[in-house]
Amino acid sequence: MIRRDLSGNILDFRDDANGGWIIRDRQIINQARIDELAKIEEDKRKASTAEVNAIQASPEAVEQRLGNPSVSSAKIDALEKRINSQDAKLDAILLALKNVK
């Protein structure tokens, strides 16, 4: 049970399951329990930060998505040349098939 004043400060903090009074009349009674609770909250923060970092995309993936101009242009040019050469080959095949008839 936590009892606070109107400004949000803790007046009393009692944890019957884990040692009774922790804070009583704004005085710390059980410093060890406060340290444990602070450690738990810190662990929660670290876990949520680690979870967010695990979800974030790697810089390489972001760079690839955004399109690094030097890398993307070279790749696009190479693909365009390849496609154009394939188109030329297909056109030659179609022309040869038309001439056979």
Please give the tally of structural domains in the chain. 2
12 and 44 inside one domain = yes
63's CB contacts (< 8 A; 6+ apart) are 71
CA 66 vs CA 55, 62, 74: distances in Å: 18, 6, 15
Is residue 60 in some structural domain? no
Assess if residue 83 is contained within a domain: yes
Backbone angles phi, psi at 73, to 5 degrees: -60, -45
Co-location of 48 and 81 in the same domain: no
Query: Residue 47 belongs to what domain range?
Result: 2-55
pLDDT by residue, tens only, the chain of 101 residues = 889 999 999 899 998 888 789 999 999 999 999 999 999 999 999 888 888 777 777 777 777 667 666 666 778 788 889 999 999 999 999 999 888 76
Is 10 a member of any domain?
A: yes
